[in-house]
Amino acid sequence: MDEDKVKEAIEAIRPALQNDGGDIEFVKIVEKRVHVKLKGACAGCPMSQITLTNGVQRYLRNTVDPEIEVINDIH
């Protein structure tokens, strides 16, 4: 999987999260699993999993690879 494409897609979606007081950081790719870290307001938000699945993951699947899985790496 092209790491640069994933990073570009994450950068494209960052402003939407930043508008709500949060942020997202790329951590790593393992096969088709993209590990990210939600920060700011997103880190403690009870809706963060929905944001990842319906927002970030859907965007990455549409722009990079339809089989991508996005994981919040909270460590």
**Can you give the residue ranges of every domain in the chain?**
3-72
- Tens of pLDDT, residue by residue over 28-55, are 999 999 999 999 988 888 888 899 999 9
CATH code for the structural domain at 3-72: 3.30.300.130
Q: How many Å apart are CA 64 and CA 39, to the nearest integer? A: 23
> 58-69 pLDDT, tens per residue?
999 999 999 999
